[in-house]
């Protein structure tokens, strides 16, 4: 199957449009559109974007979620039955003229990226050391969670220094953080300190103390009581630039 054809079919199904109605909007034949959706005709990215835009896609949405992002992350085919049911329910609740669908929903909510895939993709923010958002990554949602946590609670933290270089974390690397308020033995964790947020490898010493480790040019450690520490989260994934 064609991924671009799947995208077009998902948006058409979401709006409850027929092949002929979409073809008329886009200036192509309904036979051409059916072949694209079936994957028997190759379609270029720019042509797919023109068709999606004719059905109501916005520039804002296109900037946030690209065709490449979705094709690399999401099984689009699995979403078709759900979208079909949603389109049928929408038509039963409030009948509309097919020709007016795209014009009546010009905002972000009318696009395939945010409307159809919000349950399978998450726009995860990237924060620097002062918790300013400096970018984002697209991550898949599995069973309503990302790495076992609520999608709204996870984020990437950009390593501010080389304090963990000996543990293969260097300045500028991105670590995916999930919420954790208690020490996790052997984990790299994000802590809140009076000087800001820092990354440290944590080893539990006993029931009330933890060893905080860092390793730049030399290995260093300090033992702290749990009541002196504020754990923010546990790092579960590392993204590093190999250049």
Quick: pLDDT tens for 140-170: 888 889 999 999 999 999 999 999 999 999 9
- Measured distance CA(110)–CA(102) in Å, rounded: 8
pLDDT at position 104: 36
Residues in a beta bridge with 196 = 193
Check residue 84 and give its pLDDT.
Answer: 54
pLDDT of residue 10: 79
Of the ranges 5-14, 56-65, 87-96, which is most confident?
A: 5-14
The pTM score is: 0.58
User: In angstroms, rounded to a whole number, what is the distance separating the alpha carbons of residues 223 and 203?
Assistant: 9
DSSP single-letter state for residue 175:
E
Domains by residue range for the chain, with CATH: 3-118 (no CATH), 122-239 (2.10.109.10)
Whether the CB-CB separation of 119 and 141 falls below 8 Å is answered with yes
214 or 26, higher pLDDT: 214
Strand, helix or coil for residue 205? coil
Specify the pLDDT at position 175.
96
- Strands in 209-215's sheet, in edge-to-edge order, are 133-140, 121-127, 155-158, 174-179, 231-239, 188-193, 196-204, 209-215, 219-225
Using one digit for the tens of pLDDT, what is the confidence trace for 17-54? 888 888 888 888 888 888 888 878 877 777 888 888 88
What pLDDT is attached to residue 11? Answer: 79
Q: How far apart are CA 204 and CA 13, in angstroms?
A: 54
Q: What angle do CA 131, 136, 139 make, to 5 degrees?
A: 120
Count the Cβ atoms, other than its own, within 10 Å of residue 220: 12
How many other CB atoms are found less than 10 A from the CB of residue 96?
13
Give 135 or 49, the one with higher predicted confidence.
Answer: 135
Between 183 and 40, the more confident residue is 183
Residues with Cβ within 8 Å of residue 95, at least 6 apart in sequence: none
Residue pLDDT, tens place only, 86-122: 555 555 655 444 443 333 333 434 444 445 455 677 8
Residues 209 and 225: beta-carbon distance below 8 Å: yes
Break the chain down into helix, strand, coil percent, rounded to 5: 40, 30, 35
Calculate the average pLDDT of the chain: 79
């Amino acid at each position: 199957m064609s991924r671009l054809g799947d995208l077009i079919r998902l948006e058409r199904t979401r709006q409850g449009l027929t092949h002929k109605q979409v073809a008329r909007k886009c200036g192509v034949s309904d036979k051409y559109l059916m072949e694209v959706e079936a994957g028997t005709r190759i379609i270029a990215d720019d042509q797919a974007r023109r068709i999606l835009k004719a059905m109501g896609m916005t520039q804002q949405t296109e900037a946030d979620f690209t065709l490449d992002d979705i094709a690399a992350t999401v099984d689009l085919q699995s979403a078709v039955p759900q979208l079909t049911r949603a389109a049928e329910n929408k038509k039963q609740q409030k009948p509309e003229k097919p020709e007016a669908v795209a014009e009546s929903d010009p905002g972000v909510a009318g696009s395939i990226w945010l409307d159809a895939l919000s349950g399978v993709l998450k726009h995860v923010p990237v924060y620097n050391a002062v918790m300013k958002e400096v970018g984002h990554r697209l991550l898949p949602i599995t069973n309503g969670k990302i790495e076992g946590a609520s999608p709204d609670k996870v984020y990437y933290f950009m390593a501010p220094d080389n304090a963990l270089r000996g543990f293969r974390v260097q300045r500028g690397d991105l670590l995916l953080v999930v919420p954790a308020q208690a020490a996790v033995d052997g984990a790299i964790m994000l802590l809140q300190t009076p000087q800001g947020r820092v990354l440290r490898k944590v080893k539990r010493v006993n029931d009330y103390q933890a060893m905080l480790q860092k390793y730049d040019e030399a290995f260093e450690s300090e033992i702290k009581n749990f009541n002196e520490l504020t754990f923010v989260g546990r790092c579960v994934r590392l993204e590093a630039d190999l250049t």
